[in-house]
Amino acid sequence: MNEDTSGIPRPEEQPGHRVTITDDAEVSTYLEIAKQKAGVKPVPTDTLAPGAERDAVVIIDLGSQYSMLIARRVREHNVFCEVVSHETPWEKVAPLHPKGVILSGGPAGAYEADAPMAPEWVFKRGLPVLGICYGMHVMVRMLGGRVMPGDIREYGLATLHLSQDSSLFEYLPFSLPVWMSHGDLVAELPPGFSVLAYTGNTPVAAITDGNRLFGLQFHPEVVHTPDGRTILKNFLNNVCGCEGNWTASHFISESMGKIKEQVGDGKVICALSGGVDSAVAASLIHQAVGDRLTCIFVNNGLMRRKEPERTLEAFHKNLKMNVVYVNAVDRFLGQLKGVIDPEKKRHIVGEVFIRIFEEEAAKIGKVDLLAQGTVYPDVVESTSPDRKAAARIKSHHNVGGLPARMSLKLLEPLRSLFKDEVRQVGLALGLPEDVVWRQPFPGPGLSVRIIGEVTAERLEILKGADWIVMDEIRKAGLYRELWQSFAVLTGVQSVGVMGDYRTYGYLVAVRAVTSEDAMTADWAKLPYELLGQISNRIVNEVPQVNRVAYDISSKPPATIEWE
């Protein structure tokens, strides 16, 4: 067995054991710690004054499935942005000091009676505006032009031909492939507008007022429009005048002031899960308010092998945070005894966690705020009824009920960030790469990777197999490329032969997927040699397993986890 010999101390393993680790020693700053870590080069956080201006644009969501993707693309150019509903008043977006507005696409027809329009302020404040697909139709309609249903719908690749020079198409050839997805057409331009580009089927494929308003019939945000990134960059840089100064170090400087203000003299608690979001949130808050933050880390026994030790080492030993470590392995296993239904498992793990968290928080004394690693996609999902419904295929365990039950205010410093931005901030804060690049892991942990009842024995079998999967994936240099990779202990047992003996052992499934956001996923095309090595090691090193299968289903129709 490939044992870790890193010398990490194992937390004591008596059930119910509670170790409060509070370090009175001098608290090193994150940047100092980071300096000691080979390969981690923190971005200096003192180069920008807290609250320094940064460029921002607003994305008005008109119902497109791509609104988040537009935001992602804008952020890639180091411009801050927020997606807001089409009913958002100016007062709400004014604090962002937007330098431009993007109107998303959407499913409606702009000539329909109740079609969503952009807020009035969009065209009244003299800001640059880029309308994408339906967003262009809205622009046309609101500014006095006309949109009507097209004779033919246009989906897929088309060739765009530019009919005049424009700052929006700077550095681009006169003909380029673009991705179309529309059934309506601009029939009449608003006064003062002209056509910028056309395709074989779409005479009005891009428009402008010649100054600051632009409309595109195609989708620059999707990868199928290869020059889409340049077009968005041109809009941000050339039209809006954004410099692209939104960086991890900028975010950190800005956050320090905000967190200090929100926390004041209060006390903050945070649940550490070992995942990157809670890790970065905790580090950021710790940097702002130091020991007024206490992290609670509950070992539920459902984590990967060595995860509890690694988490403790990263946060307590390296980052000198106050960590309350709770060994609640037996409590979780006791509650999970005899439970087979995946949703019941989720519910139990969530409930037991909340109870332990409340108990531990009560021991700390008066607490004012609960810190959470909520990230931007969670925020947008929770405000979109459709996406919320879609996510209910599995009732993801989170600590959502806690703030109200404990009458705590929420502190969510990562609310505006995407996952990869969270990672950048983590690196800039000096968090170990191991923590920053950790693959997502479900709250109910290994309990939803054991089909059937969760027992201590089955957990050990799964941890052994999972350890080998991770070890081989890392050695093959694929860990970061994969969204998730893990083993599943199926409930199936099958006949095998080892030496001259018949065996009746477990079937382990190996799952490895690529994904952008976990909403869809593809099975990873791992090399056969690697799969062979994983299988070989599992049957050799985990005695209870005699067969290994590789899961080649995508999501949908399967899900990433088996339960």
CA atoms of 429 and 249, how far apart (whole Å): 9
**Could you tell me which of 226, 248, 230 has the C-alpha nearest to residue 239?**
230
Is the Cβ of residue 128 or residue 274 nearer to ligand XMP in the bound state? 274
SS3 content of the chain, % helix, strand, coil (to 5): 35, 25, 40
Residue 373 binds to ligand XMP (criterion: CB under 6 A): no
**Total residues interacting with ligand XMP, rule: CB under 6 A:** 14
Going by the DSSP 8-state scheme, the letter that residue 447 receives in this structure is G
- Do the strands 545-550 and 501-514 form a parallel or antiparallel pair, or are they unpaired? parallel
Is the Cβ of residue 109 or residue 275 nearer to ligand XMP in the bound state? 275
Q: Which stretch binds ligand XMP (CB under 6 A): 92-100, 328-336, 534-542, 554-562?
A: 554-562
Q: How far is the CB of 300 from ligand XMP (least distance, A)?
A: 12
Residue 394 binds to ligand XMP (criterion: CB under 6 A): yes
Residue 560 binds to ligand XMP (criterion: CB under 6 A): yes
**Could you tell me which of 202, 233, 234 has the C-alpha nearest to residue 217?**
202
CA atoms of 268 and 285, how far apart (whole Å): 9
Q: Which stretch binds ligand XMP (CB under 6 A): 80-88, 331-339, 390-398, 502-510?
A: 390-398
Residue 345 binds to ligand XMP (criterion: CB under 6 A): no
- For residues 165-204, which are near ligand XMP according to CB under 6 A? none
Here the tokens at position 90 are 């100016």
- For residues 133-162, which are near ligand XMP according to CB under 6 A? none
Q: Which of 77, 86, 182, 219 is catalytic?
A: 219
Residue 346 binds to ligand XMP (criterion: CB under 6 A): yes
The beta strand positions in 397-500, using DSSP E, are 409-411, 484-498
Here the tokens at position 200 are 């074989």
Residue 89 binds to ligand XMP (criterion: CB under 6 A): no
Q: Has 221 been annotated as catalytic?
A: yes
Give just the sign of the alpha carbon dihedral 485, 487, 492, 497: positive
Q: Which of 317, 396, 415, 419 binds ligand XMP (CB under 6 A)?
A: 396
Q: How far is the CB of 397 from ligand XMP (least distance, A)?
A: 5
Residue 442 binds to ligand XMP (criterion: CB under 6 A): yes
CA atoms of 40 and 20, how far apart (whole Å): 29
Q: How far is the CB of 427 from ligand XMP (least distance, A)?
A: 21
Is the Cβ of residue 31 or residue 519 nearer to ligand XMP in the bound state? 519
State the binding string over 472-491 for ligand XMP (x if CB under 6 A, else -). Answer: ------------x-------
Q: Which of 440, 452, 491, 543 binds ligand XMP (CB under 6 A)?
A: 440
**Could you tell me which of 217, 219, 216 has the C-alpha nearest to residue 229?**
219
CA atoms of 522 and 224, how far apart (whole Å): 18
Say if CB 289 and CB 4 are below 8 A apart: no
| Type of residue at 384 | S
Residue 511 binds to ligand XMP (criterion: CB under 6 A): no
171-174 long-range contacts (CB < 8 A, ≥24 apart) are 171/230, 171/234, 172/227, 172/230, 172/231
CA atoms of 226 and 395, how far apart (whole Å): 37
Residue 555 binds to ligand XMP (criterion: CB under 6 A): yes
Q: How far is the CB of 477 from ligand XMP (least distance, A)?
A: 21
- 3-class DSSP state for residue 377? helix
Q: Which of 82, 154, 221, 421 is catalytic?
A: 221
Q: How far is the CB of 381 from ligand XMP (least distance, A)?
A: 12
Q: Has 219 been annotated as catalytic?
A: yes
Q: Which stretch binds ligand XMP (CB under 6 A): 203-211, 255-263, 323-331, 391-399?
A: 391-399
- For residues 514-553, which are near ligand XMP according to CB under 6 A? 518
Is the Cβ of residue 373 or residue 444 nearer to ligand XMP in the bound state? 444
Q: CB count, 10 Å around CB of 15?
A: 12
The residue to which tokens 């910028």 are assigned: 196
Residue 443 binds to ligand XMP (criterion: CB under 6 A): yes
Say if CB 187 and CB 110 are below 8 A apart: no
The beta strand positions in 73-166, using DSSP E, are 80-85, 100-103, 129-132, 146-162
Is the Cβ of residue 230 or residue 398 nearer to ligand XMP in the bound state? 398
Q: Which of 81, 133, 240, 295 is catalytic?
A: 133
The site for ligand XMP (CB under 6 A) is made up of 346, 394, 396-397, 440, 442-444, 484, 518, 555, 559-561
Which residues are tagged catalytic? Answer: 133, 219, 221
